[in-house]
Structures are given as structure tokens and as C-alpha cells.
Amino acid sequence: MHCFRLLLPFVAVLLAFGPAQAASRSPRVLSLNLCADQLLLALADPGQIVALSRFSRDAGMSAAARKARNFPVASGGIEAVLRDRPDLVLAGPYDRPVTSGVLARQGIAVRIVPLWQGFAAGAAEIRALAAALGHPERGVALVAHIEAAREAAANAGAGRSALALGRGGYVDGADSLTGSLLAAVGLRPAIPAAHGRFVPLETLLQLDPQVLVLAEGRSAANDRGAALLRHPALRAWAAGRRVVTLPPALTACPGPGLVEALDILAAGLR
């Protein structure tokens, strides 16, 4: 009995700290979304990452493809997610809603990473996700890094007109991530429009932008979308203009890739 009394204080300490330690444990996270992958890699501890999306290692799509190679790839199936039992699943707004519903009923939290809505909204999402992952200071640091890059690149465009041209003749609108990047460096759109659209080659050749921002991915023109960017007429038209190559992987998702995108634009315009 005397020994039991001596143990009571230690038992009380364990009971007091046990729940707190469980609550403060950083969540184990699985990503089903390309943009969520990149934020997770930037903000979480390696040990927190259960798996990343099936596109995470594609260098043509992800700015963090090399880093993603160190982690498992999620199959995307509900059964696999339930088997891994993460504390949190990150998904995109267009991912299957049925998946989120099933996981929620199984007690697995799902967080939707929103689409690009501007630098301010992007910064708020980064800070909120970092806090959810248990590392709020990393969110603050990443936002500061992006803002520093914005400030350094702010006047590189000097009000020149620009056209951001992607695969198949797609021209990005002002509401896109690429449109926000162009505005951030001081460029004005050659086609003032909020939303992006495909523009025929004949129409493109009639435009007169001072700067052409080309989305160049893999070098081979292995499909019609990529082939247009290498069309002889377009190449001749671009020859007398300032051309900046901005890889699609840097404009697909908000996150750490924004810093490199801003640096590339600023360097290409000065």
C-alpha cells in the first residue's frame, strides 16, 4: 500500500500529460492533389507525409517533383487511404466528393486546398495549412519568402505589354496564376481578359505584344498542343520580341514554385 501511495503522483502526471501529448502530435497526412503535394512538402515534417498524389513525381507538372521522389505515391483509391489511416487527407476542389464523404464517415479529416484566387488568398491558405500541420512558423516563413520575391520583381516589366502563351494557343487570363505573376512583375496583358481562352494561330500573329511568355515543358513536340509552340510562323513572329520561358510546372500551383517563377520572369525582363 505504501508503494502504491508513492506511485500515485507519477500516475497523475502521466494522466495529465498523455492527452496533451496526443493532441499536440503532428498529424499524419496523405495528399491526393498535385498542389497539395507541393504545400505539404514545403510545410510538413517528412515523417508526417504518408503519401503524395500520383502526379507528384512528374517534373512536367510539379515544381517539387525531385523532392517528391522520397515519398510513397498514393493510389487514390478509398480502400488504400483507409488502409493507411492518415489523420488528414488533402484534396482539391475537383477531386471526387464521394471520396471526401466516405473518409469523413470513417473519421478521417479531409481538407480541400482551394484553387488560385490571388496572392492574398494564397498567403492565407499557406498560413492556415501550416497551422493545421502543426508548423505555423513555416507558413509565415514561406509567405515572407514569396512576398520578398514579389517585391524584388515588382518593376521588372515596366508596364510593357505581354502575352502568356501556352499549349495549343491557350492564352492565360488575368484571374489565372500566370496572369497574377505577370501583373506582379509590372506587365500588362496584350489581350485584356479575366479568363483564359484558346486563340487561333492566325489571331496570335496579328497581336503585337512587347513580351512573350512561353510555357515550355518537355522539349519534344510530341502532340499538337506542344507543336503549336514550335510552329515556324510563331517562332518567326517571336524572334523580334523579348521572350521569357516559364515552365508550366511553376504556374500550375501556388506555393514554393511562385518564388522561382517570379525570379525567372524578373531575370528575363531585365
Render pLDDT for 171-199 as a digit per residue (tens, 0 to 9).
999 999 999 999 999 999 999 888 899 99
50/82: higher pLDDT: 50
Alpha-carbon distance of 36 to 32, in angstroms, equals 7
pTM of the predicted model, to two decimals?
A: 0.84
Instruction: Determine contact, residues 230/221, Cβ cutoff 8 Å.
Output: yes
Extract the C-alpha cell encoding 218: 518537355
240/91: higher pLDDT: 91
Of the pLDDT bands very low, low, confident and very high (cuts 50, 70, 90), residue 93 is confident
pLDDT at residue 1 tops 70: no
- The per-residue pLDDT for 230 is 77
Closest C-alpha among 16, 258, 68, 40 to residue 151: 258
% of residues, the chain, pLDDT over 90: 65
Of the pLDDT bands very low, low, confident and very high (cuts 50, 70, 90), residue 205 is very high
Of the pLDDT bands very low, low, confident and very high (cuts 50, 70, 90), residue 12 is very low
Alpha-carbon distance of 86 to 50, in angstroms, equals 7
Closest C-alpha among 258, 259, 257 to residue 65: 257
Q: Cα 163 to the chain's mean position, in Å? A: 22
Closest C-alpha among 226, 219, 216 to residue 249: 216
pLDDT at residue 11 tops 80: no
Q: Are strands 197-198 and 170-171 parallel, antiparallel or unpaired?
A: antiparallel
**Structure confidence by residue, pLDDT tens digits, 95-153:** 766 677 788 888 899 999 999 999 999 999 999 999 999 999 999 999 999 999 999 99
- The per-residue pLDDT for 159 is 94
Instruction: Determine contact, residues 131/139, Cβ cutoff 8 Å.
Output: yes
Instruction: Determine contact, residues 209/161, Cβ cutoff 8 Å.
Output: yes
Instruction: Determine contact, residues 150/182, Cβ cutoff 8 Å.
Output: no
- The per-residue pLDDT for 235 is 86
**Structure confidence by residue, pLDDT tens digits, 42-71:** 999 999 999 999 999 999 999 999 999 999
Alpha helices in the chain (DSSP H): 2-24, 34-43, 65-68, 78-84, 97-105, 119-132, 136-153, 177-184, 201-204, 224-228, 232-238, 257-269
